Structure 1
Amino acid sequence: MATKNGVPYRLNLVSPSMYGIKCPYSMRATKATVHETDNNASANNEVVYMIGNGNQTSFHVGIDEKEAVQGIPFNRNSWHAGDGGNGYGNRNTISFEICKNYDPNKGTTKISGSQLTAYNKAKANAVKVIAQVMIEQGINGIVDNVKTHQDWSGKLCPQKMLREGLWIPMRDQIIAEWCRLKSGNKPSVLKPNPKPLKDGKVGDTVKVYNTLYLTSTGGGASAKKRGKQGKIKRIVRNSKKYLVEDWGWAHPNDIQLVKRASSGSTSKPSNSKTKTVTIDKLNVYTSQSLSSPIVKTGSGYRILKKGTKVKVTATANNGQLVHGSKNWSEVDSWGWVPSVYLR
């Protein structure tokens, strides 16, 4: 069987006699659009149903945990985006349906067990296939070129990913895979880290053993900093909990301890203390310096308004001097602010 970036890939194209209904316009795609099927059918069943009925709704590729199946030629449009007959999504983007994302017996996206395993594998296959198709179709691997159904018409789709905060990591993985394919690099295979980091602290010097990630939830993997040493700038509760410099986020298995931070430089209060922001706008930084990056959020940057209540989750006494004080406070486990701006 043919493959696309290692994923089994089959063609089951709609009959040309159905072009007038399913894909009436020629197209040179400029972006990719990602959907979820909201059911538990296989990619093959989705495509067979789509090309065999008389409804206009159509999509290019279905992807599940076993394979990808193409139903519409890439040089024809598909009716998937809900933005009208001349809508950009419908007329200029390749549509991908990710399967196995919904439990019809419970009427919910809250899946578990073997279905969750299948869904996660379908997503992993989708990352590989979408990135490869983008390369083949000349679509540049940038954020603006990897879209959701919601971007075009407001529909909550891909529903599971949008509801559970999984879309941004998914998008970033597609872009990272596109970059890997474009550069010709092969995936790195390493033995398990023999000395994973235990109980890391802000200020610890660590060596990057494996991969760093663009987000703390695992999006945008990169091995560019492998072997480099840097300091932990921030710790959060997600799986990739350690921010190393401004390079990226690491799981404990991705880094090794080189040197502990100076004792007493950073401490955790026995009980998180609630403080109030005293200036109009207070940036939250990734480390104890005004030149550090501001903490990014899903909608921009973490900037606190005057009067905002925060919990101090750690303190440091060796940060950049601000208004005569080197004391900094970690707020809500997100990042650092000069303590002089809290009361």
Structure 2
Amino acid sequence: MQSFIRHRRLRANEPIRRMVRENHLHVEDLIYPLFVVEGEGVKEEVSSMPGVYHVSLDRLNEEVEEVIQLGIPSVILFGVPAEKDECGSQADHEQGIVQQALRQLKKAFPSLYLIADTCLCQYTSHGHCGVVEDGEILNDVSLGRLTATAVSQARAGADMIAPSNMMDGYVYAIRRGLDEAGFHHIPILSYAVKYASAFYGPFRDAAHSTPQFGDRRTYQMDPANAREAMREAASDVAEGADMLMVKPGLAYLDVIYRVKEHFDLPLVAYNVSGEYSMVKAAARNGWIDEQKVVMEMITGFKRAGADLILTYHAKDIARWLQEGR
């Protein structure tokens, strides 16, 4: 009688390893973030995010043409306005930078799926995700501003609204606002589980959205909490979210797994800026094999339960997949 089991039989060569592989990454799983800025002729690399650029409207199409050639089906737009004020008035302005970008891309690339990040932090002079009064972030007042922003983005051509602000009741408010404006068909990708993470530093550099006072811990989640994530996701599902997101991804694979096990909705993992920049820095120093590390990390998101991955690595991943590497 055999005394032990030979697991290595199914690892003996590349064909059998491919045949029994449990999780597969496809280019259709990727969402690519874009930072759109005002001005002309702008394509400037974000200093803390090698390979990621601020792009003005007149250079945006060439950036998106590359995305489409690589087979990436969707982008998410982050706007960086030239002017900011206390209430973030540019967030829902008809000529806001994201609204202009949405109209432009919808006309030029009708098959590209356009997701609009819906928040106020890039647009407010104080850098918080809601309306501030006497140093307090006002939840219910902020919902009105966020709803107006979502409706304006839908009107400009967004295929999906992705609210990232973490105000209580934001999914309900935005769903109601979209429906009342006739946008019943526009789905909501909720940043359902968004932690107050140290991994956001490079994004805040890219979006010029660092808070000017305090921090975001009164509305973003404590990194120590996992059960709370289930409560946050459950409320967003009840309020009408069509898809859920966990952000960040790499340090929260357990949370991705829990959310996927509990909720029968498509799940997105956000491979955030700090995760991206650490890999880029290590690769530039020759400490790691960038491709192998990125693919292992992204496969980890899939294995944990993510259906889609929002990642700054998307273009590189698409190239590697095309090359069969």
Range of TM-score over shorter length = under 0.3
**Rg comparison, structure with higher value:** 1
TM-score, length-scaled by structure 1: 0.25
TM-score, length-scaled by structure 2: 0.26
Higher relative contact order (CA 8 A, sep 6+): 2
Q: Quick check: which one's strand share is greater?
A: 1
